[in-house]
Amino acid sequence: MEAKHSSFSTSSTQQHTTPLPSDLPPIQAHPLSYELKATAQYARASLLQLPHGPLETPVFMPVGTQGTIKGLTAKQVDDIGFQIILGNTYHLGLRPGTELIRDMGGLHNFMKWPRNLLTDSGGFQMVSLSNLAEFTEQGVLFQSPVDGTTLMLSPEKSIELQNNIGADIIMQLDDVISSVSVDHERFVLATHRSVR
């Protein structure tokens, strides 16, 4: 697997780049690795090596839905010691748009976050915004709660948006249904869509 170096660069020829702080490990040529550190019954502690540094698990992951942790700067979040932030693909796709984020050097550079990012697939909005969603075999057609425009979120589109964001960990688009649903046929359909 080839390492992606698009989010941060120390090259002075690129615009909108910020060098990594000197106390962080450099991005490695093969940044993805997993090491099991300890187990206790069904629990485990692990170390993931990701493109923007180590990630110890289990982990608390603050949610930066739109590329920010409300009320804190990226430096303050880093100073607390968080190793990863979650970004929301659907909401970042609406505002400010993943093309803009990509053109700014990825979400790491956009929000000045030197550590790891995980993006969800946008699938949770199938539940939280179900009144604005139409489910099809190709994906989910969302109507924006912001301006009424539509977005067809297919598995391919979800990956495209997440690649534009530049996350270290990305998620597949699942067919998500409410956890309190009793519709067995819908559950079976969603499961098959997610795993095929």
- Tell which wins on pLDDT, 51 or 22: 51
pLDDT-based confidence at 3, cuts 50/70/90?
A: very low
Instruction: Identify the CA nearest to 84 among candidates 43, 123, 122, 56.
Output: 56
Sheet with 33-40, side-by-side order of all strands: 33-40, 43-50, 53-57
pLDDT tens-digit readout, 142-187: 999 989 999 999 999 999 999 999 999 999 999 888 889 999 999 9
Evaluate whether 97 touches 175 at the Cβ level (below 8 Å).
no
**pLDDT at res. 27:** 54
**pLDDT at res. 2:** 37
Q: How far apart are CA 143 and CA 130, in angstroms?
A: 10
**pLDDT at res. 134:** 93
**pLDDT at res. 7:** 30
**pLDDT at res. 196:** 82
pLDDT tens-digit readout, 75-125: 999 999 999 999 999 999 999 999 999 999 999 999 999 999 999 999 889
**pLDDT at res. 123:** 87
**pLDDT at res. 124:** 87
Q: Taking the CA atoms of the chain, what radius of gyration do you get in angstroms? A: 18
Q: How far apart are CA 169 and CA 62, in angstroms?
A: 15
Whole-structure pTM value: 0.80
- Tell which wins on pLDDT, 77 or 19: 77
pLDDT reading at 18 higher than 50: no
CB count in 10 Å sphere of residue 123: 22
- Rounded average pLDDT over 8-15: 33
